[in-house]
Every structure is written in structure tokens, then in C-alpha cells.
Structure 1
């Protein structure tokens, strides 16, 4: 699973180089196969301190519905969190659904 990071300034998006198929619920509650590339994103949040702030890491709910948002001082740590949570979510999806 190769993750590609796209930098849009203060937003960093995680995408897979090749899509992976997961089972996802439709609005009606039925499970269906869905190919996903988008894993999550990291955004910059100011905290009121001049030149200070935190990176907020998020994994998309279709990839890992139990992954909470986390804040980090370091961008590389935030990226590692998103990648780890996406891998956990995809693996659990494959094993349980």
C-alpha cells in the first residue's frame, strides 16, 4: 500500500497510489464493494499563540470509522498517524465485513 501525500498549503491529503476495495454501507444500510483511494487529511489549526498551532490528523470514516481526530506538533507524526489508522481500518474491514 503506497501512500501519496498531496500538499495544498495548510492541508495535506493522503491518497493511495492504487485503489483498494473495501465494503461500505449505503444510505439504505446495505453493504457494497467500493474502491477507495482517499484515506484522510491533515489541516493546520491556529491556537492563538503567534506562529503557533497544531496539525490536526483525520482519517475518512469510510476507511476507518473508529479513528478519532488527533493533534500533533509535528507534521511527520500526523502523517504517520493517518497512514497507521488507514491501514488498521482497511485491514479490519477486510477481516470483518
Structure 2
């Protein structure tokens, strides 16, 4: 359980995991950081954070697969383990702080 909460401890990782969870499009994945940019952090700075911290951490945990060449992220082999927690938190988003996702 600690590993799941560690993955969700950062707002940018939360946004990425929620975006993967909610993505119902026909795309193969999401493009980071563009698809999860909330506008508070400069895109270039956010890109550095993602590439040096957030994406390696989530990939190492197995929650995502990251294609560094195309900048796309897809669900990893362990994404289904964190999916119920994302669903639970999403179902109760109105009861959580504003910066939840």
C-alpha cells in the first residue's frame, strides 16, 4: 500500500495516473507532460521534472510504460493494481482537497 501512496504523493504523478485511468480515447497513450500540464509550472520545467523524477519512478514501480522517443506513456504491467485506488479516490473527489488530481 505504501508504494501506491508514494506514487500518488506528488500532484504531477497523480495527474498522470488519473489521466491514464480516465483516458477513454482511441489513443495508445498520453503524451507527457503536455496532457497533464495544469498551467502552474512552466512546461519546460515540468518536462524536466517528469523525465528525471516522475516517469522513472512510476516506470520502476511498473505502473506505467514510458516511450522516451515518442514521449508517450501507457499503462504498465502493474497499473491494474493501482486502478481500484484511483477509482475510489475519483468516486470521492468532491470530498478531497482541490489539488487531488
Tell me the TM-score normalized by structure 2: 0.24
Q: Which has the higher helix share?
A: 2
Higher relative contact order (CA 8 A, sep 6+): 2
Larger Rg: 1
